[in-house]
Amino acid sequence: RKFRITCQEIPNMAKEECAQCGAHFSLFKWKHHCESCNKLHCADCLGSFQISNIGVSAPKVCRRCYPTFDKRAGVPTPGPVGAGKTRVAVVGYSSSAHYTRANNVAVLLVEEFPDKYEYWTHAGDRSDFFVWLAGWKESLSSDSSFQKHASSPICWLEKEDGKIEVLGGRDKLVEWVTVTHAGSKADKKGDSFLNPFETFLRVESS
């Protein structure tokens, strides 16, 4: 089930107190619903458990639901990288156009250079992706530029020895392909996905 719901689906909208702490709602204490259990909570009981660092689209869950909700975001762990190869990994959510485009570029790259690359992709529910993304950021250093990444997909390269190079979103994957394999099928496909502004930047930098 999708966790993004509308107010009409919340059966207890008339409730006047927080489901956890019992505080009464008022002009200064607003109602917020948990996107897992649908119960109403005050900002203190819900906001502090909002999934952090993932932008304004973050799902909001309450204190009681957070542990369960977090487990729903499981992204399978890929096996070891093949000998002598580099893995191109793409993780996003299935309704994301940019995920689909990045996935297409990765597939073409592997088809054209099967001895050098393999690919691993995963696309699940939108809310689950953002929960996973928040957990993934915890593995990065606090000053990493990718702490600000807040969209689908996230792409990275993984070597046989386990070393990982994070690229970023679909646009960064396309840029990397252009630098490393200019003129390839993957490069041409990626170039067709660029929006006018990105195309302008590419022309200016060439």
pTM, whole model, 2 decimals? 0.61
Pairing of strands 86-93, 117-124: parallel
Nearest to 2 by CA among 110, 95, 79: 95
pLDDT tens string for the chain (206 positions)? 344 433 344 445 556 888 888 888 888 888 887 766 777 888 877 754 545 444 444 567 777 776 665 555 556 677 888 899 999 999 998 888 899 899 989 988 989 999 999 988 888 778 778 878 888 888 888 888 898 898 999 999 999 998 999 999 999 999 999 999 998 988 888 766 544 434 433 444 44
167 phi and psi angles, rounded to 5 deg: -95, -45
Tell me the two tokens of residue 30: 């607003």
Q: In the prediction, which pLDDT does 76 show?
A: 67
